[in-house]
Amino acid sequence: MAKFDEALVKLEKTFFYKGNPPTNESEYNAMKDGIDNPPTWSEVQTAINNLPDKDALKASGKQKLKDLGLDDEEIKALIGV
């Protein structure tokens, strides 16, 4: 799921669009008629910036498992990474 889509879900908006998610305000303004009660571009950007960094979370979780004494093979068996 694109970060734009995740941000709209977090903002509890119902939406639909075709193609790629917008990457700037003018693209957003051109497609926002597909969003119920659309937020401002600034609100969307804030929501995107507040999304968790999934790669960092995965690395942190993997390190915590190592700190608990699991080796790489055991971690891979648990989480497939």
pLDDT band at 79 (very low <50, low <70, confident <90, very high): confident
pLDDT tens digits along 27-74: 999 999 889 899 999 999 999 999 999 889 999 999 999 999 999 999
pLDDT confidence band for 20 (50 / 70 / 90): very high
Cβ pair 31, 17 in contact under 8 A: yes
- Domain limits at 27? 3-49
| End-to-end Cα distance, the chain | 20
Note whether 19 and 39 are same-domain residues. Answer: yes
Domain count, the chain: 2
pLDDT range class, residue 1, cuts 50, 70, 90:
confident
Helices 72-79, 54-67: crossing angle, 10 deg rounding: 130
Strand partners, 35: 15
Report the 3 state secondary structure along 23-74: CCHHHHHHHHHHECCCCCHHHHHHHHHCCCCHHHHHHHHHHHHHHCCCCHHH
pLDDT-based confidence at 80, cuts 50/70/90?
Answer: confident
